Structure 1
Amino acid sequence: MKPSNSDTYTSVLEQCQTSDRFRIEKRLQQIAARSASGQPTSKMQADLEQTIEKSTALTQQRLDSIGVVNYPDLPVAEKKDAIKDSISENQVVVIAGETGSGKTTQLPKICLELGLGAKGLIGHTQPRRLAARTVANRIADELNTTIGDKVGYQVRFTDQVSQGSLIKLMTDGILLAETQHDRYLSKYEVIIIDEAHE
């Protein structure tokens, strides 16, 4: 694929990793400025094309790794189609339900089934370290994977997240700390704030 202008580049931006988009957009602006002033841009365009190809290839690889998502018999799973519609149509969704209804373990899987997690992590916060580890283990079991593969967790002093992880459980403190060096949280495609009332 060899996009010939910035409009074409922009059209493929949505297929890139969320962590690459800012850099690609900045590069597009630089190319447009140089082109407008009559300066050569072929080297910059070639570099940009390579970045886009790598980013979109990684998105496809992550999408292919999602696999089939199965659900246990829980109230949230019965409402998954309505939840999927809400997530697809809205930037922010608030989900409330009874304790034990499956919100914590099933929402990340519903996001996966929508194809989310391919362009960036599904971040999922828990107020306590033990909860982050326990929920990560439970979701990994339900997805027939191991910790550090599709599902990982990060708590103070422990990081079990890999390049192939699609879902990252963490404490609220870890997410807050990440805003200090990445205020837009650009490595995440979705963020689930669990136990928000706390």
Structure 2
Amino acid sequence: MFDERGPRDRLWQVAARQRGYFTAAEALAAGYSYQAQQFHRKRGNWTRVDRGIYRFREYQDLPSEATDQFVRWSMWSRDRAVVSHTSALAVHDLGIANPAEIHLTVPPDFRQQHSAVVLHRSRLMDQDVEAHEGFRVTTPLRAVIETASAGIDQDIVDSAVAELLSRGVTSRRRLLHAAQEMGARTELAVERALRAEAA
């Protein structure tokens, strides 16, 4: 079937699902040669965010959301990274987490590095991950458990556990079971949070 839309319309449709971000490969697939891409970058139509990652200039004028940055890092990782730990707590608005660093979980064989992100290597199960607009994030339960396992400040774990339970997302029993599967350190942090929540 013939696509009557022009390259810009095709690329815009892709970028609109990714908060205005797109890759050089996506621009190429939409019909922009590398020479045309360079032209649009030089003219200021596209903002270069990272190597091979751009954003439509129009999105610079829109109110940004706190989660916009996660779309960029998802693209940087070629969709292999999942927002996790305290960054995931912030996405889910669980507790008092306000991380200064971006935490991503990547597969063990992931080789890229960047000073702006903290990488955790693990194979996540499908049930531990959910999709957001333009990126993936660990579920609220997984976010709490992995934060507890990382030895993050107990106050952050306490507040996240209290909110998780108050929202009815999970039960105390299921939370404790998930913590036990992660190891003794995680179990202890979650037990402390449960005691604080019951007090």
User: Which protein has greater RCO, CA pairs closer than 8 Å, 6+ apart?
Assistant: 1
- What TM-score do you get using the length of structure 2 for normalisation? 0.24
Question: What TM-score do the two structures reach when normalised by structure 1?
Answer: 0.24
